[in-house]
Structure 1
Amino acid sequence: MMGRLTRVGAVLSRTLSAWWARGGRRALKIAGAVLVLPWVLLVVLAVFTPLPPELVRGPESGEVSVVIRDRHGVMLRELRAGDGTRARWVPLAAMGERIQRALLAAEDRRFAWHPGVDPAAVLRAFGQLCVEGRVVSGASTLTQQLARTVRPRPRSVVGKIGEMALALRIEASLSKREILEQYLNRVVFGPGVRGVEAASRFTFDKGTAELSLAEAAALAAMPRGPVLYDPQRGTERLLRRRDRILRRMLDGGLASEAEVAGALAEPLRVAGRGGGLGAPHLVEAVLSGAADRRAGALRGKVSEVTLTLDRGLQREVEVLTQEAVRSLGSRAVTAAAVVVLENATGEILAYVGAPDAEDEARLGHNDGVLALRQPGSALKPFVYGLAMERLGYTAATVLPDVALELPLAEGSYAPRNYDGRFHGPVRLREALANSYNVPAVWAAAALGPERVLERLRALGFLTLDREATHYGVAIALGDGEVRLLDLAAAYAVLARGGTYLPPRAVREARDRQGAALVLGEGDGGAAKGTATAGEGTATAGEGTAAAGVRGKPVRVLDAVRARIVTDILADPQARLGAFGEENVLELPFAAAVKTGTSKGFRDNVAVGYTPEVTVAVWVGNFDGSPMVGVSGVTGAGPLLHGAMVAAARLRPPHAFEPVDPAAIVEVEICSLSGKRPTAVCPHRRGELLPREEVEALGSCDMHEEVLIDRQTGLRAGPLCRGDAVEARVMERYEARLAGWARAAGRPVAPEEMSPRCGEEAAQEGARREAMGVVFPVEGARFVMDASVASVQAIRLRASVPRGARRPRFVVDGQVLAAPEGWADYALKPGAHRVRAEAEGARPSEEVGFSVEE
């Protein structure tokens, strides 16, 4: 046998020698050239292939999707990147080692050694193609797959050569770790999912660093067939490929036997698809910076945002809003909005901008929380609070609710109450609780529109950006456009006892690389350039608004007056006159509430607060069309009630803090005059007053005991005696209220003496009453319009007692006849004094007013 083999070897040797002599050397050189030349050409082509700029610029060059979570980390929704995919960029170091090892085992075990193209894999694939006549396995490396991702090419020989050249170029420009990071963040892992981090969050609801080995292997399987291995279409194929990858990890030394055994036994648990249209209006407001000026605009800066929102409360309020609009559909109501704030932090717990963001017919894309709408009477608490601070008003101060006419540049303004009636003298508590308009306008006129506007801006109403003359005293009735969010924030100031905090919508935000952003660096939006809050408070330009944007609490309201305003708004007995018993504003826990309706019934608002939360509601139509017969209590009121009850389940309410006896005392007052009762006051009640205001309270001067002639019903003079005389407790009104009292049939003491008791006494009775200047009020300021060429005047008005003759005004010594109780006065720049006089009556006190050019 050995001899035979020796002879065969000799024959082969001679044959090869003869072949070599006849040109074999040349043939071998040609074969070598055929094998080497393509690689040389490929390298040359790679040299002239430019590196894609997005691989140079890095992660900031690509768009990422934004994951929105509630305060508990529950995903509300995911805003896809510009290409329509879920995409998140995570540095390689933050991914963890498991996903990297699994991917190398699945796609490219020789990644660390090849130059971008694996010659051994190419030869293997070519040989399998020749033998089998079909493609059995691919030869693409991770680098080639990355090249195909950033520069897609046709599936042809030319396209494959271009892909290989770009892979060589990438390998020459980037490190292996950089290539792996680019691949993991750019390659498609599933339908609409780009990058491993987005795939991990979407599939397992966790980051890549938290993946188990089995989960990492499952994700590593997906780039091979994003649709084929989509777990949402079933997990059987994915599970089989996962297990193959785990075994390859074991064979390649990328995982230990114990690790693989544990991973193979682990079931494949896929998270729910998650992410709906949660809080779409708030998400947009956060990205634009409109909802949280502290955080500023986040659009294009973040990959993840954790909101202050509570998902459970949000969903409940959404349902309540939809039901409220449905129930009011017959009254031409198509929209509503609700915002809930946590008072201690200013955080937004629920935010519904519209009942249905997808309802185009009803303009559902509009955001009622940020829309500029008129708040109606909802601004009155802040007007009265300011009057308490600046004018010495208290909850017991009596204000006139009678016919009032104020001059304006374009005419005159005569406020009317919602119920169409005047109520005469009303204490501030009842005026606010019942939302009477005339007393609020009276208070605003006494303060001046400038002061009122300064206070409102200090409370965060930065959209009131016109001059005070534009709004006038009607600002007290909400004649200016504000955001519902700012209205809620202002009422939260009352809930905190006078401290302002800006609304907060963002708890945490991460940039496009996943690093935490430092909040509080926003530009503040409209916070710039606002006016001062007035004497004794912080300024809005450098104090309230600026500090508020930075998240610092700022005192805006006096704590004592804020507590008294809260007591009024939480007093169901005080609002009985306008709202009756068992109305929707009554809640099963202590709460302060206020409603508002704009002129023309275009807007309803209702605001309520407990020590824990503040809820603000708007009901109306986004196109500005009026509602039909809907007031604050019938429109926004029921929705406020439901939202307050829902919020109370999340933040159980406590009673408001007891008043501080060192600062606030309860004093017995006469219910009519608001002063200390005398022996003849028939009705009394307790009232809260700042301690420093008690001494100035004074005694009741609106009740008096009067001797009446039974026969005539007139005052009994000295000639009426015995059983003919009766002592009655009667009421006495100042001049501006006298007409109302007589028309209302109040028990006003008669002015005239009984003729049975002597003519001289009757004449004396006629002189008991005094004239009164109804308009202008003390301290009124008027501004002349330089653009008006005609004479500019105001109408002086006086109250004239019965029996008085030839009434007149005396202005700076000049007499103006007023036969009907009024006279027109041509305005002159400067300070002026006016009083009213008449025969048979005492002259009025002088009233000062000023005119400016």
Structure 2
Amino acid sequence: MIRPPVRRRLAKALRVLAVLVALPLAALLVTAAVTPLPPELSTPEAFDTSTSIQDRHGVVLREIRSDDGMRARFRSLDELGPIVPRAVIAAEDRRFDHHPGIDPLSIGRALGQAVIAGRVVSGASTLTQQLGRTLVKRPRSLGGKFLEMALALRIEASLDKRAILEQYINRVTFGPGLRGIEAASRFYFDKPARDLSLAEAAALAGMPRGPSLYDPRRGTERIERRRARVLDRMAESGFITETEASLAKSEPIALAPKGSGLGAPHLVRGVLSGAIDKITGPLKGRASSVTLTIDRGLQRELEVLAQRTVEDLADRSVTAASIVVLENRTGEILAYVGSPDIENEARLGHNDGVLALRQPGSTLKPFIYELAMERLGFTPATVLPDVALHFPTREGSYEPQNYDGRFHGPVRLREALANSFNVPAVWTAAAIGPDRVLARLRELGFSSLTRDAATYGVAIALGDGEVRLLELASAYATLARGGVALPVRAVREARSPTGAMLDFQAPEPRRVLDEAEAFLITDILSDKHARIASFGDDSALELPFPAAVKTGTSKGFRDNLTVGFTPEITVAVWVGNFDGSPMEGVSGVTGAGPLFRDAMLAASRLFPPSPFKRPEGRIDEAAICPLSGERPGPACSHSKLELFAINEMGGARAVRPCSMHVTARVEKSSGLLAGPGCSDHEAEERVYERYSADLAAWARAAGRPVEPELSSPRCPSLSARSSMNASSRGKLRIAYPPDGASFALDPSASAPQAIRVRADVPPGATGIRFLYDGKPVAKARDPHAIDIPLTAGAHRVRVEADNAPPSDDVEFSVD
């Protein structure tokens, strides 16, 4: 029997004990009530995720870590399947479903073990406490532990058990730099967490206890012991059978091989920023998984080819190369090499040559000639002037020159484009108008041409403007599709951090070029016989299958390009230096050309090439005279077949009879025109060439068999050809400057400033002289040009001849 004083003391002690227990518990509950829920849990959709990048076949190229430097993937419990959640509960908190966030039984057990052993034997933290500790860092002290327990109670009061487990599995660390079991599963086993075997799930579930300690890449002995313990606990909890646990323990830990390289780093950067695929827009922060359109094998092969090219051309001051390959049917990027080595700081490897603004050289010419076919009725047989020409610009006179430094006289459009002659291209751009040329280029997707047409002028035909290699590739793919434009695609699919598919609305295809005329340009670019004069018969542009190809070199040899296509793919290549320094003796066919050829051969192994097909019912074939491009006449000694577009009314372009080959009766001894007074024994019929006024000077200088202008004095022609022909073959005109031109004197110039006035003179015209402001200046000899000093004010000039009507006055001003 307990004496009353003893009972009173015992009761008092119990009351004190109750107070000692109640006060901390009350304080804990009050603290939990005022503790805010971590924002990550109040807005769980704001999950900071990393981004996995795969190629078109699902091969992982690289993983872009989240803002905190972790690989991270969010997966719902439903997506994870049943094994992973059970393994995590068994590993960390078997009483998870039965406690309110803190487990008094576990706390008591841990305290008892610590008292007996004199050290900490086991922890007492619940799964909810670990989640709270992950989200809100606390000091490792008694006060920190108290706040951790309060936060766990707050979490349990706000979220149900299923949500807490889901957040834990996605937010705690499952390995060095790995947040969430999905990221760990893909990193260690290269598979989604729902596809993990029981042994793999148990191994990963045990890693939060010591992410670095159990890292299997540092050895599997520790993780195997930890896995065995998790499997035993799963069996004890009834999640699996003893047999299943035993089999799982015997399964070796087979880690996935490490990834190779960075995997298309420039493309990945452009996709995440939205600079490449305008349909998807920026994906950084929006997508946790991105499937690109590229083929990893082709990508790696072209990366090696780019590196090899730079090494081979190092002695010619080349340090950079870029390649992009498109699938024409879809517009998808198959390979994308921004630079040979993104890590090479000395060579500015972080620059992206596919997106960089560079001068395209001659690669814009095909689109100018196609527009001339549409607007001016040009055909591949149209004869264009390749002679000295002068065009007014804001800075003065522009005189285009050919790459070989020569003029070629009358050239057919097929020859002009295939051999990349500059002068005919500039003349054609002037005939169309720079404003219309610029509008067409923008229709084709050259959004980088942002200045006005007057700034570019006719020199836009030679690439006097900066464009992107990706824009060039897209425009050439439009040619390959017969004139239909599609947006460039770099992304096949992308998923949000929650795993939902992101929806991208692609614009409808749109026709930009006429189908028949796009085919004619394609036929010219694939005509190896037409380009022999400039490129030879065994150049880097020759491939073992039909391919349309164009080269380009910018001013000062700073940019070197080759672009081409088959019906299946388009390849665009740039070679140069990112700092803009010039190369040494490198042209499109010697610099970018060999790399283009290798890239096209590599891509064609994936997409075997087929022949180019004529648009049904839109292409006709006819014989032409090679000199005039017109229908062969009786005086034409040769002919060849040419292609023509059939217009929408069903008829082909009309081809008039040859006007350049003529037959003339001449005196045998002198070669002059023979009249009736010459007997048949003294005269004969000969074939000559007749040129328009703008080509006459070139023809005479080139020694062409020009039709005689004078009659033989022994037997003069009754037709007075010398005067008649001067008016019948053209009239005098001022070829430069154009009427209304304006020039500005340079105040800093010390030498006299002048312009060269040039006249077009028809055959037979003699006594050529210029009048400047109404006064004779000088008589002009071939090539009928004089230099006139510039003085401020308004001026006029005209040209006269002894046997031809004078030209119209041309007025110009000097400021």
Give the one of 282, 287, 293 matched to 1:297. Answer: 282
Correspondence 1:801 to 2:763: yes
Provide the C-alpha distance between the structure 1 equivalents of 2:276 and 2:731, rounded to a whole number of angstroms.
51
For residues 783 and 390 of structure 1, what CA distance do their matches in structure 2 show? 25
Deviations 1:485-530 (A, max 9, x none): 010000001100010001000110111222111113xxxxxxxxxx
Q: Does the 8 Å CA contact 1:670/1:677 hold for their aligned counterparts?
A: yes
Q: Would the aligned equivalents of 2:390 and 2:736 in 1 still touch at CA under 8 Å? A: no
- The 3 A distance-change label for structure 1 pair 653 and 189 is same
Deviation at 1:197, TM superposition (A): 1.4
Which shows bigger deviation, 148-157 or 394-403?
148-157
Deviation (angstroms), 1:91: 2.8
SS at structure 2 position matched to 1:708: strand
Tell me how far apart the structure 2 counterparts of residues 70 and 291 of structure 1 sit (CA, whole Å): 16
- Cross-structure match for 1:9: none
The alignment partner of 1:768 has SS state of helix
Aligned to 2:750: none
Q: In structure 2, which of residues 567, 575, 581 is the aligned counterpart of residue 625 of structure 1? A: 581
Aligned to 1:278: 263
Instruction: Summarize deviations over 1:33-53 as a string: whole Å, max 9, x none.
Output: 444443333323333433322
Distance 2:492 2:391 in 1: 48
Q: What is the CA-CA distance between 1:835 and the residue it aligns to? A: 9.2
What is the identity, as a one-letter code, of the residue corresponding to 2:618?
A: A
1:119 paired with 2:104, answer: yes
How far apart are 1:801 and its partner, in Å? 3.5
C-alpha distance in structure 2 between counterparts of 1:611 and 1:601, whole Å: 31
How far, CA to CA, are the matches of 2:730 and 2:261 in structure 1?
Answer: 70
The 3-state SS of whatever aligns with 2:232 is helix
Task: State the distance in 2 between where 1:787 and 1:118 align.
Answer: 93
- The DSSP-based 3-state class of the residue aligned with 1:105 is helix
Q: Is the 8 A contact 2:557 2:582 kept in 1?
A: yes
Provide closer, same or farther for how the CA distance between residues 757 and 787 of structure 1 changes in structure 2, counting only shifts above 3 A: closer
Q: How does 1:446-465 map to 2 (within 5 A)?
A: 446-465=431-450
Identity of aligned residues (%): 58
Paired residue for 2:559, among 603, 618, 626? 603
Q: Distance in 2 between matches of 1:66 and 1:108?
A: 30
Q: How do 1:633-782 residues align onto structure 2 when only pairs under 5 Å count? A: 633-660=589-616, 662-692=617-647, 694=652, 696-758=654-716, 764-765=721-722, 767-769=724-726, 770-772=729-731
Q: Taking structure 1 as reference, are residues 145 and 792 closer, same or farther at Cα in structure 2, changes over 3 Å only? A: farther
Q: What amino acid is the match of 1:630?
A: V
Give per-residue Cα distances to partners, 1:515-552, cap 9 Å, x unaligned. Answer: 111113xxxxxxxxxxxxxxxxxxxxxxxxxxxxx331
Q: Identify the residue that residue 49 of structure 1 maps to in structure 2.
A: 35
Structure 1 window deviating more from structure 2 (23-32 vs 564-573): it is: 23-32
Q: Secondary structure at the match of 1:302?
A: coil
CA distance in 1, matches of 2:734, 2:301: 51
Matched, 1:577 2:577: no
1:516 aligns with 2:525: no
- Give the partner amino acid of 2:84: I
Alignment correspondent of 2:147: 162
Residue aligned with 1:59, SS: coil
Give the direction of change, closer, same or farther, for the CA distance of 1:434–1:656 in structure 2 (3 Å limit): same
For the residue of structure 1 that corresponds to 2:300, the secondary structure is: helix
Deviates more, 1:335-344 or 1:695-704: 695-704
The counterpart of 1:310, out of the listed 271, 280, 295, is 295
The SS at the match of 2:355 is: coil
How is 1:1-80 mapped onto 2 (pairs within 5 angstroms)? Answer: 14=1, 20-21=6-7, 23-60=9-46, 62-80=47-65
Q: Could you report, residue by residue, the CA deviation over 1:368-406 in whole angstroms, capped at 9, with x for unpaired residues?
A: 000011101000000000000000100000001000011
Q: Within 2, Cα distance between the matches of 1:836 and 1:447?
A: 27
Amino acid at match of 2:611: A
Matches within 5 A, 1:334-373: 334-373=319-358
Report the Cα distance in structure 1 between the residues aligned to 2:494 and 2:94, rounded to whole angstroms.
Answer: 37
1:773, distance to aligned residue in structure 2 (A): 5.5
Report the Cα distance in structure 2 between the residues aligned to 1:57 and 1:611, rounded to whole angstroms: 50
Matched-pair contact (CA < 8 Å) for 1:676–1:699 = yes
TM-score by length of 1: 0.88
> For the structure 1 residues 787 and 182, does the alpha-carbon distance in structure 2 shift closer, same or farther, using more than 3 Å as the test?
farther
Mark the CA change 1:695 to 1:149 in structure 2 (over 3 Å): closer, same or farther: closer
Higher alpha-carbon deviation: 68-77 or 261-270: 261-270
Change in 2 beyond 3 A, CA 1:343/1:810:
farther
1:22 CA displacement: 6.9
Question: Matched residue of 2:583: which SS?
Answer: coil
Shift of 1:261: 5.0
Q: CA deviation at 1:664?
A: 1.1
Contact 2:287 2:495 in 1 (8 A): yes
Name the stretch that deviates more: 89-98 or 588-597: 89-98
Task: Determine if contact 1:776/1:847 at 8 Å carries over to the other structure.
Answer: no
Aligned to 1:533: none
The 5 A counterparts of 1:131-142 are 131-142=116-127
Q: Is the CA contact (8 Å cut-off) linking 2:294 and 2:335 kept in structure 1?
A: yes
**One of 193, 203, 216 as aligned partner of 2:188:** 203
Q: Deviations over 1:791-827 (max 9, x none)?
A: 999956322535512456999xx99988434688999
1:110 and 1:422 mapped to 2: Cα distance?
A: 91
Deviations 1:31-90 (A, max 9, x none): 444444433333233334333223222231x42211111011111111111221111222
Moved more, 410-419 or 275-284: 275-284
Gapped regions of structure 1 (runs ≥ 5): 1-13, 521-549, 828-832
In structure 2, relative to structure 1, the CA distance for the partners of 1:441 and 1:249 (3 Å cut) is same
Task: Give a deviation string over 1:722-750, Cα, whole Å, max 9, x none.
Answer: 44334322211111111111111112222
Equivalent residue of 2:621, what SS? strand
The match for 1:406 is 391
Counterpart of 2:514 in structure 1 is 558
Unaligned runs of 5+ in 2: 748-752
The range that moved more, 173-182 or 488-497, is 173-182
CA RMSD between the two structures: 3.2
Give, in angstroms, the shift of residue 135 of structure 1: 1.1
Q: 1:43 to 1:774 in 2, by over 3 A?
A: farther
Q: Normalising by structure 2, what TM-score?
A: 0.92
How much does 1:217 deviate?
Answer: 1.2
**Paired AA for residue 26 in structure 1:** K
